[in-house]
Structure 1
Amino acid sequence: MKAKETNVKIVTVAIFIATFMTAIEGTIVSTAMPTIIGSLHGLSIMNWVFSIYLLTNAMMTPIYGKLADKIGRKKIFIIGILIFIIGSSMCGLSQNMLHLIVSRAIQGVGAGAIMPVALTIIADIYPVNKRAKVLGFNNAAWGIASVFGPLFGGFIVDTLSWHWIFLINVPIGIILIFLISHYFVEPKREVKTKEPVDFLGSGLLMATLMLLLYGFQTIADSGSMSLASSLYLFLAVVLFIWFILVEKQAKDPVISLQLFQNPTFVVVNIVAALVSGFLIGIEVYMPMWMQGVLGLNAAMGGIVLAPMSITWIGGSFLGGKLMESLDTKKVLGIGIGFILIGGMCLWLVPASTSYSVFLMISVILGIGLGVTITTTTVKAQNSVAHEVLGVATSFNTLARTLGQTLMVSIFGVIFNQTLAAEMMSRSQQGVSQELLNKLVNPHTANEIPADLLEPLKGLLYTALHTVYFCGLLLLIVAFLFNFLQKDRRKQN
């Protein structure tokens, strides 16, 4: 009797749906938040509804990667979806804002398993020459979620209630568990070690990430470095040093330090972090440019990112083809080169630039991001032994998350400081923070006096221009780092 085999198509579809489900949870809440605040109150702590999901997600990612290597992808993936369903149910049944925040934390703990383990499963069931295409579709889910999440959230709130933006995950999650349980056949894992789980190392790693991310979150909230944020970051450094010492002694470390003796693995993850940091600047500040400088509505501000999501898939296909004939250094050089062109355009274009030009920039950025992100993921997986594939994949996911989390805070400080300096120099023109808030809101922009409209747009343009100059520096550093690697292509 023939042994049951994995149904690759069904498992791939399940992975895509799971990835999109967790990605959209980071964006769909934004549209529903005014309604949620009206229902549960708690305006002063609403930011935690967003940040706690990202914090617990990032905190758990490397732990799940280790467990996926140790006890199997299938079990961890199903556990992650199950925790995500429980968290989603609790979110939908929340009666106050504190309950919702705690529930979002649980939801993030589940989501932390889904993305890295999904990428690991893709690496298990697809050869290298096909993996890039599949990863392209999977990675594009994040871009699509960033565009359609707020629109979908608004539709659900208008037609049902805000509770359903969370409860809809329950039936979807149950279906995913059924599909993975029945159609993903994982080979029996040989236990090469009976060493206990590295609980101390895992705890120190989670605490380090929590303090690091929370420290930068406080910087983003206040717009500058404070005593509290400095303390959080200092404690993160202390715990990180302790973590390194523990991992050197651990018999089965949660993250093997030998991975970082592999120059290729280190370089591709640094490139992934830097490029992801630039990407968050695009997702946050390009819609602001459309609304504040060009005076377009919120929908048009979101749609400007749509071409990037579409061409991201094409860029992934291109990256896969290029990796068949070129070494990783050249493929990444091409990918980062496309992003550099797009970043240079954003830095150079004047305030009067038309919407169509930004759509073209979005197309160029999507191609470059598709090539770069997919190539760094495949190379991070392909440069390590199969028994640490889960850890390597989860670390690549973590590197991208850290890049985005840290850079959104740094960009926020740069943006706010530039605005403050410009407002001081233009105070005689009558500009103020209150008027600037009205400018970036399409519903209130028409309340601004006509003689102040252009000075305010110039103020916002200057701040955005500074952010994109810093983003361009990130890309230059990534481009230089890429040429540090000595590529030893490994054909699988």
Structure 2
Amino acid sequence: MSKTKRSTLYLLLINIFIVFLGIGLVIPVLPSIMNELNISGTTVGYLTAIFALTQLIISPFAGKAADKFGRKIMIVIGLFIFSVSELLFGMGKTIELLFISRILGGVSGACFMPAVTAFIADITTLETRPKMLGYMSAAITTGLIIGPGVGGFLAEIGTRVPFYSASILGFIAATLSVMLLKEPASPQEEIEAKEPI
């Protein structure tokens, strides 16, 4: 793997880690938010379900968009939407706003994850792909493991702080992607580049 592709892979893994760290951050404070807004366990279940349902519905379309418009743009869009969704949840004082936040979160996941997975597939070979996808899985798991601990610490400052922190992390990841991420060449473009003129 070339140095450029390796740097791109590291950036993608950092983005994945940041997103799932952000998701993990908010886990410890959800019970406090439930009590603050008098939300029932059933409503929390609906909030979780609407996130998953939105991601399920949008993912096929987002995957097609990643093929048509490029991996980078879908990753950036997904990260910005993630940032907005966490900000809205942190600001949310009504059930309606929380549901809007979770719907946006589902759209974010649908845009981000297929594009990242496809990006990794684009810049790896058949021999290195399983290893790199393993790194992706490790980045997800690490973010989810570390996130709740950090979120619990931030919750000591305020119950909304983890959401704002997740929003900031998402914005940072999106900005890094805009500046540093290079759209991968298609297999046909790589073949043409290697052919002698």
Q: Which TM bucket (shorter chain)? A: 0.7 to 0.9
Residue 44 (structure 2) aligned to one of 43, 46, 49 = 46
1:6 Cα offset (Å): 8.5
Q: Distance in 1 between matches of 2:55 and 2:15?
A: 14
Residue 54 of structure 2 aligns with an amino acid whose one-letter code is: T
List aligned pairs for 1:317-466, cutoff 5 A: none
Report if aligned partners of 2:20, 2:143 keep a CA contact under 8 Å in 1. Answer: yes
Report if aligned partners of 1:10, 1:179 keep a CA contact under 8 Å in 2. Answer: no
Report if aligned partners of 2:75, 2:112 keep a CA contact under 8 Å in 1. Answer: yes
Q: Distance in 1 between matches of 2:110 and 2:86?
A: 14
1:171-220 per-residue CA deviation (whole Å, 9 max, x = no partner) reads 3223222322232222677xxxxxxxxxxxxxxxxxxxxxxxxxxxxxxx
1:91 maps to 2:75: no
Residue 78 of structure 2 aligns with an amino acid whose one-letter code is: G
Residue 15 (structure 2) aligned to one of 6, 11, 18 = 18
Q: Distance in 1 between matches of 2:64 and 2:3?
A: 23
Distance 1:42 1:144, change over 3 A: same
Report if aligned partners of 2:25, 2:151 keep a CA contact under 8 Å in 1. Answer: yes
Report if aligned partners of 2:20, 2:140 keep a CA contact under 8 Å in 1. Answer: yes
1:100 Cα offset (Å): 1.4
Report if aligned partners of 1:89, 1:170 keep a CA contact under 8 Å in 2. Answer: yes
Residue 73 (structure 2) aligned to one of 69, 72, 75 = 75
Q: Distance in 1 between matches of 2:177 and 2:144?
A: 26
Matched residue of 1:61: which SS? Answer: helix
Distance 1:130 1:145, change over 3 A: same
User: Number of aligned pairs?
Assistant: 186
1:128 Cα offset (Å): 2.2
Match of 2:166 in 1: 169
Q: Distance in 1 between matches of 2:18 and 2:28?
A: 16
Segments of 5+ residues of structure 1 without an aligned counterpart are: 190-385, 388-492
Q: Distance in 2 between matches of 1:79 and 1:183?
A: 15
Q: Distance in 2 between matches of 1:36 and 1:107?
A: 17
1:169 Cα offset (Å): 2.6
Residue 161 of structure 2 aligns with an amino acid whose one-letter code is: W
Q: Distance in 2 between matches of 1:175 and 1:153?
A: 18
Match of 1:110 in 2: 108
Distance 1:126 1:187, change over 3 A: closer
1:95 Cα offset (Å): 1.1
List aligned pairs for 1:226-237, cutoff 5 A: none
Q: Which has the larger radius of gyration?
A: 1
Matched residue of 1:46: which SS? Answer: helix
Residue 157 of structure 1 aligns with an amino acid whose one-letter code is: A
1:112 Cα offset (Å): 1.4
List aligned pairs for 1:310-321, cutoff 5 A: none
Q: Distance in 2 between matches of 1:185 and 1:144?
A: 25
Percent identity, aligned pairs only, is 27
Q: Distance in 2 between matches of 1:187 and 1:19?
A: 17
Distance 1:26 1:55, change over 3 A: farther
Match of 2:122 in 1: 124
Distance 1:187 1:164, change over 3 A: same
Report if aligned partners of 1:7, 1:184 keep a CA contact under 8 Å in 2. Answer: no
Q: Distance in 1 between matches of 2:85 and 2:73?
A: 18
Distance 1:115 1:6, change over 3 A: farther
Q: Distance in 1 between matches of 2:132 and 2:148?
A: 26
1:146 Cα offset (Å): 4.4
1:117 Cα offset (Å): 0.8
1:366-407 per-residue CA deviation (whole Å, 9 max, x = no partner) reads xxxxxxxxxxxxxxxxxxxx69xxxxxxxxxxxxxxxxxxxx
1:65 Cα offset (Å): 0.9
Q: Distance in 2 between matches of 1:22 and 1:41?
A: 28
Q: Distance in 1 between matches of 2:45 and 2:123?
A: 39
1:155-179 per-residue CA deviation (whole Å, 9 max, x = no partner) reads 2212x22222222133322322232
1:92 Cα offset (Å): 1.3
Match of 1:208 in 2: none
Distance 1:34 1:23, change over 3 A: same
Q: TM-score if structure 1 supplies the norm length?
A: 0.35
Residue 61 (structure 2) aligned to one of 47, 53, 63 = 63
Residue 180 (structure 1) aligned to one of 177, 189, 192 = 177
